[in-house]
């Protein structure tokens, strides 16, 4: 079909400003916040202008219930192509037989994985929430904890590493229908082969919730769960640097069950602008530049961990293999929640998190966003020094805020 329209001049940057100054001001204010403070939330990143363009495109107008070639709505010829491109790119990027790119979020992807493989009341073994499991891994406040019988494994309180002996013992005792591996704060590579072995021993499905490391997997900087897990759930908006959304990968044997679990079981119409943006992100992630980026993300996280340890903070597991690290600020005389507030006042945005000693709140940091900005190991050392200065002395916050403004000013995420 020949394309006769151009977006050139039709969507001027200030169109929102003229029509709705109230919202335009909020959007610009948020852009300023993101670009003048340090984004150290491990789950965030700066998507490319191309991803943003797809998100803000007329595909947002399209209803498309169903799958390419089998939609409930007319006019899906072009969005069908977009979804097929996204699926093919995801399959090639991760070496998977099948990809479902419709999940609205990481949680929706996990819900679909459970819907595909489990029945209400089934037993599931997953990382316990106090040790770094996600809400969808059995929180009583979430559908998972309400509809399934979750058993939690943990990390060794001394090493902070997953206790595989405990995983095996719990699996033998509880005979779960599925084992979930994946976490919101585990800084080391997941040993997927070890989880597969236990799952095979007890006849359980293995679900890898790779929401965090999937971008590193795409860039060859972390091991892939695809050869080991029955179903891989992921987000597309963390290190992977795509739009907010989810994705599922599986073998052809489970493709139909996974697709039906997404639509019509847990979702309605697909968000075609987001799916197009996922396709753009998968295309970007297949480039050598993204491979270099993913490795730099890890190098930066390691440098940040080393420098924070040198400043006196306790780094869980002594370092990291990934884009994230967790630290206990107690040695600097401040606990996690107070520390997060002081750092926010100094222009450093991050989360609190569970630590191997579950009653202690720590801090979780990630390097995906600052690495997209072009920062390297030298900047990580600087950030660690500013971080410790803000924690040691509340009065230093104002000076640190100015230094953060100066640092971020030299690394704009959207130059020009
Ligand atoms: C391990 C894990 N699973 C699932 C999710 C849920 O993703 P979303 O917030 O997109 O629903 C997250 C989000 O951080 C996560 O870390």
Query: What pLDDT digit, counting tens, does each position of 363-396 carry?
Result: 999 999 999 999 999 999 999 999 999 999 989 9
* 2 Cα to the center of ligand 1, angstroms: 40
Fold of the CATH domain 58-285 = 3.40.640
pLDDT reported for residue 359 = 77
Torsion region of 132: left, alpha or beta (phi above 0 gives left; psi -120 to 50 gives alpha): left
Domain ranges of the chain: 58-285, 288-410
Between CA 55 and CA 58 the distance in angstroms is 9
The radius of gyration computed from the CA coordinates of the chain, to the nearest angstrom, equals 22
pLDDT reported for residue 251 = 98
How many other β-carbons are positioned within 10 Å of the β-carbon of residue 264? 12
Q: Would you list the DSSP string of 111-180?
A: HHHHHHH--TT-EEEEE-GGGT--GGGT-TTSHHHHHSEEEEE-B-TTT-SB-HHHHHHHHHHH--SEEE
The per-residue pLDDT for range 89-138, each reduced to its tens digit, is 999 999 999 999 999 999 999 999 999 999 999 999 999 999 999 999 99
How does the average pLDDT of the chain come out, rounded? 95
Name 399's Cβ contacts closer than 8 Å, sequence gap at least 6: 389
Extended beta strands in 274-341, E state: 314-315, 324-328
* 400 Cα to the center of ligand 1, angstroms: 31
Between CA 95 and CA 243 the distance in angstroms is 21
- Between 259 and 1, where is the model more confident? 259
pLDDT reported for residue 11 = 46
Cβ(116) to ligand 1 under 6 A?
Answer: no
Provide the token pair at 282.
């998968």
Nearest ligand 1 atom to alpha carbon 184: 16
Reply yes or no on whether 405 is catalytic.
no
Quick check: 216 pLDDT over 60?
yes
pLDDT reported for residue 414 = 92
pLDDT reported for residue 13 = 57
- Between 357 and 256, where is the model more confident? 256
Over range 19-38, report the average pLDDT. 94
Between CA 403 and CA 398 the distance in angstroms is 9
Between CA 378 and CA 300 the distance in angstroms is 9
pLDDT reported for residue 358 = 66
Cβ pair 129, 139 in contact under 8 A: yes
Binned at pLDDT 50, 70 and 90, residue 10 comes out as very low
Quick check: 41 pLDDT over 80?
yes
The per-residue pLDDT for range 262-271, each reduced to its tens digit, is 999 999 999 9
Fold of the CATH domain 288-410 = 3.90.1150
Cβ pair 113, 258 in contact under 8 A: yes
Reply yes or no on whether 63 is catalytic.
yes
Which of 147, 98, 153 lies closest to 129 in space, CA to CA?
153
Cβ(315) to ligand 1 under 6 A?
Answer: no
**Would you tell me the crossing angle of helices 288-310 and 272-285 to the nearest 10 degrees?**
80
């Amino acid at each position: 079909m020949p394309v006769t329209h151009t977006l050139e001049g039709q969507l001027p940057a200030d169109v929102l400003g003229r029509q709705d100054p109230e919202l335009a001001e909020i959007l610009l204010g948020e852009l300023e916040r993101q670009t003048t403070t340090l984004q150290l939330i491990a789950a965030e990143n700066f998507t490319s202008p191309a991803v943003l363009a797809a998100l803000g495109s007329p595909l947002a107008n399209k209803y498309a219930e169903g799958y390419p070639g089998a939609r409930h709505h007319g006019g899906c010829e072009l969005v069908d192509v977009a979804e097929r491109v996204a699926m093919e790119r995801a399959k090639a990027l991760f070496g998977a037989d099948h990809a479902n790119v419709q999940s609205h979020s990481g949680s929706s992807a996990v819900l679909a994985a459970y819907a595909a493989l489990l029945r209400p009341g089934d037993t599931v073994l997953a990382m316990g929430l106090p040790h770094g499991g996600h809400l969808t891994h059995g929180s009583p406040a979430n559908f998972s904890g309400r509809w399934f019988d979750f058993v939690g494994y943990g990390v060794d309180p001394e090493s902070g590493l997953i206790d595989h002996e405990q995983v095996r013992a719990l699996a033998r005792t509880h005979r779960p229908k599925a084992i979930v591996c994946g976490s919101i704060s585990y800084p080391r590579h997941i040993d997927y082969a070890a989880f597969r072995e236990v799952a095979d021993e007890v006849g359980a499905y293995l679900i890898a919730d790779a929401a965090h490391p999937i971008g590193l997997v795409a860039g060859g900087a972390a091991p892939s769960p695809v050869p080991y897990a029955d179903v891989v759930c992921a987000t597309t908006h963390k290190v992977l640097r795509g739009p907010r959304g989810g994705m599922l990968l599986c073998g052809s044997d489970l493709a139909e069950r996974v697709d039906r679990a997404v639509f019509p079981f847990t979702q309605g119409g697909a968000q075609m602008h987001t799916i197009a943006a996922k396709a753009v992100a998968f295309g970007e992630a297949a480039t050598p530049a993204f491979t270099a980026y993913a490795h730099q993300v890890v190098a930066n996280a390691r440098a940040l961990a080393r420098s924070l340890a040198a400043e006196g903070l306790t780094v869980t597991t002594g370092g990291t293999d990934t884009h994230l690290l967790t630290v206990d600020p107690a040695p600097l005389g401040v606990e996690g929640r107070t520390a997060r507030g002081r750092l926010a006042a100094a222009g450093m945005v991050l989360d609190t998190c569970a630590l191997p000693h579950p009653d202690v709140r720590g801090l979780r940091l990630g390097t995906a966003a600052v690495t997209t900005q072009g920062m390297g190991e030298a900047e990580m050392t600087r950030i660690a020094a500013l971080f410790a200065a803000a924690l040691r002395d509340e009065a230093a916050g104002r000076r640190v805020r100015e230094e953060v403004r100066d640092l971020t000013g030299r690394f704009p995420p959207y130059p020009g």
